[in-house]
């Protein structure tokens, strides 16, 4: 499969990304959009690209805000009195940028709109929650790896009847020292008041993407794309 590095320019945004194109087929390809964590880049999750089904275009996007050379973020993060404080303006802009970026990718690569999955690790998972829960009809599913749900996004979440059509895969390490497991269980408890279309897994791991987790995710995507 051909691997490219490309940039996509829209009227209001530019996201750099890496792509693994789908195998040639008579059917339209699906799309899996991967979002990296804070301080990383598009190379990080792209290493997983060939683990996903061959009939999907795999895109790993670079976050728009630069921390330092080679390190990027979807929004700046700080701490105040031991509490996490986000740059809410940047988080909101990234939410809208990702939504637009998905539309551009669907048009550019002639994607089957019924097979668009969005997911990410850590801060990339945060953004996947933020986009998926506010634009649920646009996606075939979201996957959230070692992440959390922003309180700032909750007022924007679509009603439960709309969320029922959005499969959600949540996975977290039991021994995560960066984002403790309680972030996953809290998000799960909240979302269960809105939808029952949730798959939840815990793994004996720290803040990482594990082999069993990835295998479960690929199985889930396969099942949800039939």
Residue-wise pLDDT for 151-160, tens only, equals 999 999 999 9
Instruction: Confirm if 45 and 38 have CB atoms less than 8 A apart.
Output: no
What would the mean pLDDT of 39-57 be, rounded to a whole number? 97
Write out the DSSP string of 175-216: T-SSS-THHHHHHHHHHTTT-S-EEEEEES-SSS--HHHHHH
Number of domains in the chain: 1
Tell me, rounded to whole angstroms, the distance of Cα 140 from its chain centroid.
12
- The whole domain housing 192 covers 3-224
Res. 82 pLDDT band, cuts 50 70 90: confident
pLDDT tens digits, 89-148: 999 999 999 999 999 999 999 999 999 999 999 999 999 999 999 999 999 999 999 999
Q: Is the pLDDT of residue 205 over 80?
A: yes
Q: Provide the pLDDT for residue 80.
A: 78
Residues 152, 179 contacting (CB under 8 angstroms): no
Q: Are 157 and 132 in contact (CB under 8 A)?
A: no
What are the two backbone dihedrals, phi and then psi, of residue 42, each rounded to the nearest 5 degrees?
A: -65, -20
Kindly report the backbone phi and psi dihedral angles of residue 6, in degrees, each rounded to the nearest multiple of 5, phi listed first. -145, 170
Query: pLDDT confidence of 14, banded at 50, 70, 90?
Result: low
The 10 Å Cβ neighbour count of residue 86 is 18
The residue-averaged pLDDT of 61-75 equals 96
pLDDT band at 9 (very low <50, low <70, confident <90, very high): very low
Q: For residue 14, give the CATH number of its domain.
A: 3.40.50.1820
């Amino acid at each position: 499969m051909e691997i490219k590095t490309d940039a996509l320019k829209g009227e209001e945004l530019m996201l750099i990304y890496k792509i693994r194109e789908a195998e040639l087929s008579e059917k339209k390809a699906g799309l899996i959009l991967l979002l990296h964590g804070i301080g990383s880049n598009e190379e990080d999750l792209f290493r997983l690209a060939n683990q996903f089904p061959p009939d999907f275009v795999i895109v790993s996007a670079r976050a728009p805000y630069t921390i330092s050379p080679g390190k990027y973020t979807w929004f700046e993060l700080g701490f105040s009195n031991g509490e996490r404080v986000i740059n809410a303006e940047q988080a909101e802009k990234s939410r809208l940028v990702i939504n637009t970026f998905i539309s551009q990718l669907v048009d550019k690569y002639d994607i089957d709109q019924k097979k668009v999955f969005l997911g990410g690790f850590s801060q990339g998972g945060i953004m996947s929650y933020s986009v998926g829960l506010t634009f649920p009809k646009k996606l075939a599913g979201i996957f959230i790896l070692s992440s959390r749900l922003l309180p700032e996004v909750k007022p924007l979440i679509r009603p439960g009847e709309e969320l029922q059509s959005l499969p959600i895969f949540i996975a977290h390490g039991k021994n995560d020292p960066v984002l403790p497991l309680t972030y996953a269980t809290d998000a799960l408890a909240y979302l269960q008041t809105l939808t029952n279309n949730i798959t939840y897994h815990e793994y004996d791991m720290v803040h990482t993407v594990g082999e069993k987790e990835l295998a479960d995710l690929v199985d889930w995507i396969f099942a949800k794309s039939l």
